[in-house]
Amino acid sequence: MRTPTISSFFLVLGLSGLACGNEAHKEGVARAEQASERVADTKSAPPKPNASPRGPERALFSLYDNRLLAHAQRGGGVVAVAGTPGFAKYLRFAKPKISWKLHENLDGHKVAVADMYAMLEVPLSDEQAKQAQAAYVRLSSPVARRLTVNVNGKLVSTVEVAAGWQTVQVPLAPGLARTGENTVQLVFSKGPNAAVEWIQVGGATPTNEAPVVHDASKKALLLPKAGGLAYYIQVPASGRLVGDVQGEGCEVSVRVTSQGATAQGILKGVGGAVELSSMGGQIARMELSGAGCDVAYLTNASLAVPGPAPQVKRPNKPRHVILWIMDSLRADRVKPFFSEARPVVPNFERLAKTAAIFRNTYVQGNESRASHASIWSAVYPANHQMIRDGNTLGAKWTTLGEAMKGAGLYTSGVSANGYIIKRWGFGDGWDAYRNHIHDGGGVRGEDVMKLALESIQAKKDQPFFLYMGTIDTHVSWRAKEPWFRQYDPAPYNGRFVKEASGKDVEAMATGKLKVTDRDKTRIIAIYDSNVSYQDDLLGKLLEQLKGWGVADDTMVVVTADHGDEQWEDGRVGHGASLRESLVRVPLVMYYPPLFPGGIIEEGVDTIDILPTLLDALGQPIPQDVQGESLIPLAQGVGRGYPRPSIASQYEFAHGMRLAGWKVRVAGSGVPALYEIDKDPYEKNDRATERPIERRMLTDVLSTFLVYQRDWRKSRWGVPSNATPLFAADLEK
């Protein structure tokens, strides 16, 4: 097993002593669900007489563990505390690098060091925006200089800044602050970079002290009088906010607002709860405010639902594993993933009754090399760097073949994707490997499957791992019967009678070949015929496993490396965007002892495939792996609160799907927001009109992007719902 080099990312940020690998090693062999799930039964201490009695419940989202997503509220304003790891959520996706150096210390203060042009984005509620009269910046400058402050693209003020510590007040004209996002830009005159401790937008004149939002020794959130915290969350179905309030006379006021709905309540004493079930499924802003004492201590606070926590069972492990990557297969063409899909896929539908269907799966790259590299290594493109011409999958990553070989399986791979060879870093760990582009043998799926099955037939009585890579849904698209005549029975006299070649599609993508609407209908029918063709092959594979007598001992995983655009936004092909047609792919995991049949709505990534296979086989997951096993999720652990799916376009643009919404952001740093289940082709950008949804998604995506090089799901969970170790590691 290879040892990864230490990431340089936190050296850039100025964070020392993290040592994720060493910390993780000390954890021993704890299963992934222990790190990613805080859902033990939470029968609370006996409530005080006025508290509503509660039965067993499970926590879905711990407010304390997710404190880096919380927004400090002070005196009616919002404070971005630059010296804390949670500052990441304000940094606007700046490219190619953020304009702040994080995790610095100056004179005993935790600070972020600002570039000459430093940007952040701060959310205000409607009430906060209406009352905002000033912004405040607590900073220390090495020299006297000028500071220009712009808010929402308008010059607010240019002030003289002295050397040393000071709090700068900048008046805001009426109406300048707005409900939702407020962009703040700090422009410093030339000189050594200034350190910023906090920035407050709106509210009463603050003291010089940075807000302290938690007490680590008590695992408590601190909610002072006239202050508190705001979270952007999804309210679980049948959900409630629970928590214990410590301090004589202390209580916590809870106000939850969404698009057109509000819920309120009070937490006090031990065993308190605020019912939120009337807002179940809605994305909301949840504000917690202290009252009745100087500072209320809130412990054991979580979004919870009734019922006991699920328990993961591993009755037996598979003896054989098959991973089938159907190149360029869009999720919206496969009925278990999109009910309105046209292609007939009876075998996918039959398999869906007994397999786990991960309905919201993203690839991490939008073309073959980057995406396969993430599947092979279970790391994000920012790390494996298969996003530049000429780069190969580096030797430091533990790859798919090596991992399966290390698990004691005979390993065979057969692919018709010309990139998936040793030259590009995909060839290690195989006992047998064949690439039909380079070694011959035919590129139809039936040719690949025939040689793939032949390669393991003699080994079927011993543990084996088989990778198959078919390219029927990848250009060139060639019609497959009898399905093609069903999908386009009308007369056609154009160029694409039964084929759209790779050269044709490339010419269409670059505008060199014009096509009519009739041509497009024809080409899409050709593509769809290949979806049904590969489904037919899936049925034959499952029958062969039965014929060999190994079906019950075989884990079958079916997915894709990306999809293809087909003129939804004027483009065709792949690699050019992060639209659903490109980055959302099927993911089916079949092995009933570990994967109960059913649809999982929570988001996952294809980097989760490798650690899932290792976990199923009872093997340890390498320290360099950034994905996590999906066995706990398939069995219910972590279900009920949204998890993100995240994709990259060569690291200059990112897309994330979460809670029925999707955010896309490119080099401008300005996010576009789509209600993706209702708008699957991303036609209606709702970023301006839905500020709460936008902030929930940008909190999560911005936090992830700042820390993604060192993110390990098995240790930190997911950025929408982190484990206790995420904040603890970063706050060291």
Express each pLDDT in 271-327 by its tens digit. 999 999 999 999 999 999 999 999 999 999 999 999 999 999 999 999 999 999 999
For residue 414, the 8-state DSSP code is E
Q: Where do the CATH 2.60.120.260 domains begin and end in the chain?
A: 71-201
pLDDT of residue 145: 97
pLDDT of residue 96: 60
With 50 as the cut, is the pLDDT of residue 27 above it?
no
Residue type at 263 in one-letter notation: A
364 exposed, middle or buried (CB, 10 Å; 0-12, 13-18, 19+)?
Answer: buried
Taking residues 37-42, what's their average pLDDT? 37
Which value, in Å, is the radius of gyration of the alpha carbons in the chain?
A: 27
HEC sequence for 532-561: HHHHHHHHHHHHHHHHHCCHHHEEEEEECC
Q: Which has the closest alpha carbon to 38: 73, 74, 63, 62?
A: 62
Confidence band, pLDDT 50/70/90 cuts, at residue 98: confident
Q: Are 629 and 635 contacting, i.e. CB atoms less than 8 angstroms apart?
A: no
604 exposed, middle or buried (CB, 10 Å; 0-12, 13-18, 19+)?
Answer: buried
pLDDT of residue 47: 34
Confidence band, pLDDT 50/70/90 cuts, at residue 32: very low
Residue 50, token pair as written in the block:
């006025």
pLDDT of residue 52: 53
Over the stretch 510-528, which tens digit does the pLDDT of each residue have? 999 999 999 999 999 999 9
* Beta-bridge mates of residue 289: 228, 253
User: How large is the angle between the packed helices 517-548 and 445-457, nearest 10 degrees?
Assistant: 20
Taking residues 351-355, what's their average pLDDT? 96
Gap between the Cα atoms of 332 and 565, Å rounded: 11
Q: Where do the CATH 3.40.720.10 domains begin and end in the chain?
A: 320-730
Count other C-beta atoms under 10 Å from residue 622's C-beta: 22
With 50 as the cut, is the pLDDT of residue 25 above it?
no
Q: Are 639 and 404 contacting, i.e. CB atoms less than 8 angstroms apart?
A: no
As its CATH architecture, domain 71-201 has Sandwich (2.60)
Residue showing tokens 């198959």: 468
For the chain, percent of residues with pLDDT exceeding 70 = 92
Confidence band, pLDDT 50/70/90 cuts, at residue 10: very low
CATH number of the structural domain 320-730:
3.40.720.10
pLDDT of residue 45: 35
Q: Does domain 38-68+216-306 have CATH number 2.60.120?
A: yes
For residue 470, the 8-state DSSP code is E
CA 712 to chain centre: 12
Lowest-pLDDT range of 3-7, 245-249, 473-477, 542-546: 3-7
Over the stretch 456-514, which tens digit does the pLDDT of each residue have? 999 999 999 999 999 999 999 999 999 999 999 999 999 999 999 999 999 999 999 99
Q: Which has the closest alpha carbon to 694: 250, 184, 89, 150?
A: 89
User: What is the pTM (predicted TM-score) of this model?
Assistant: 0.92
With 50 as the cut, is the pLDDT of residue 31 above it?
no
Confidence band, pLDDT 50/70/90 cuts, at residue 97: confident
Over the stretch 632-674, which tens digit does the pLDDT of each residue have? 999 999 999 999 999 999 999 999 999 999 999 998 889 999 9
Taking residues 7-25, what's their average pLDDT? 35
pLDDT of residue 95: 63
Residue showing tokens 């607010």: 156
pLDDT of residue 718: 98
Residue showing tokens 């014009």: 514
Beta-sheet pairing, 356-358 with 598-600? parallel
Over the stretch 373-430, which tens digit does the pLDDT of each residue have? 999 999 999 999 999 888 999 999 999 999 999 999 999 999 999 999 999 999 999 9
